[in-house]
Amino acid sequence: MKGSEPPQKAASPILERLAGRVRGLRKEHGLTLRELGAEAGVSERFLVLVEGGAANVSVTKLDDIARALGTTAAALLVPEERDAAATKAPSRAPLVALLGLRGAGKTAVGTLVAKRLSVPFVELDALVAERAGTSLGEIFAMHGAAYYRRLEREELSRLLASGASGVLATGGSLVTDHASYELLRRSTVTVWLKAKAQDHWARVVAQGDARPMADRSSAMNELRALLRARRPLYERAAHVVDTSALGLPRAVDRVVKIAREAAAATRG
C-alpha cells in the first residue's frame, strides 16, 4: 500500500540464539560489556550489536568472544535442545596453581581471580598447617624441612584426588621439590607470578612482616640470588604473568583469561 512502511526483516534465529548465549554467559561470569570486550579484543559497541542479534560475527571474532567466556564457538551456536544439559551446568575453571616467592602476589591475585570465577581460593600452606595442627614456623622448627615437604606433597595429592577446581596458592619453595612440582604441572594450570626483587620485598613489608630479612644488610642481594636460582624452575610453569609490569588489576585479568581458556580447552 502506498505510504506504508516497508516490512521489517526478521531477525536471524541463529543470531538471536547467539545473542542470548553471549548475554547469559557474560552475566554468569559477572562481566561488563567493556570487560568482555577487553578480554575478547573486540569493541564494546560490537558486543552491543552481538547481544542485540544484529551482528553477523566472523568466525575469528566469534572464537575470541567464546574463549573470553570460557566456552567454544560451537557451544554458542548449537541449538538449545541439543545443548540443554551443557547450558544448565555452570562454567567452571580448572585448578589454577599460582607459583612464586613470597610477595609475588599469590594471595592478592588468587583471591580476586577466584572471586571473578566464582570458585574457591585455597592456600596449600594453610592446608599443611591445618594437617599438622600448628604453624608453619613451628613445623620447620620442630620437625624440619623434610617433614614439611612430606605433608605438602600429601596435601597436594589429596586436593588433586578430590577433583577440586579453583585457584591454588602454592608455597614459594614447592618448585624445588621435584615430585610435588611434577605432580602440580601434570594436574593443574600452572602460572608463575613473576615480580622484581624490590617488589617482592616491598609487598612482604607492606603485609607487616619484615622478619625473614630483618637486620641483614645483604638481604636484597640474597633475595636477588634466590630469584636467579629458582627462575629456571619457575619458568617451567605453563604461563608467566609479570605482576610488576602489569600491576594487580591487569594481572588478575590475565590469570582469569588463562583460567577460562583452559576451561574451554578441557570442554572442547
Both 110 and 77 in one domain: the answer is no
Domain tally, the chain: 2
Q: Where are the beta strands (DSSP E) in the chain?
A: 95-99, 121-123, 166-169, 189-194, 239-242
Rounded to an integer, the average pLDDT of 128-134 is 90
C-alpha cell at 231: 627462575
Of the three residues 55, 82, 109, the one that is the final residue of a domain is 82
pLDDT at 94 over 80: yes
pLDDT at 145 over 50: yes
Span of 38-47, 56-65, 118-127, 215-224 with lowest mean pLDDT: 215-224
pLDDT digits (tens, 9 = 90+) for 103-123: 889 999 999 999 999 999 999
In a domain, 238, yes or no: yes
In a domain, 164, yes or no: yes
Q: Are strands 95-99 and 121-123 parallel, antiparallel or unpaired?
A: unpaired
Both 174 and 208 in one domain: the answer is yes
Task: Report d(CA 251, CA 244) in Å as an integer.
Answer: 9
Both 103 and 203 in one domain: the answer is yes
Both 246 and 212 in one domain: the answer is yes
For 203, residues 6+ apart whose C-beta sits below 8 A from its C-beta are 102, 103, 104, 105, 195
How many of the other CB atoms lie within 10 Å of CB of 254?
21
In a domain, 87, yes or no: no
Both 189 and 236 in one domain: the answer is yes
Q: Are 174 and 167 in contact (CB under 8 A)?
A: no
C-alpha cell at 153: 606433597
In a domain, 218, yes or no: yes
Percentage of the chain exceeding pLDDT 90: 40
Domain extent, residue 184, equals: 95-267
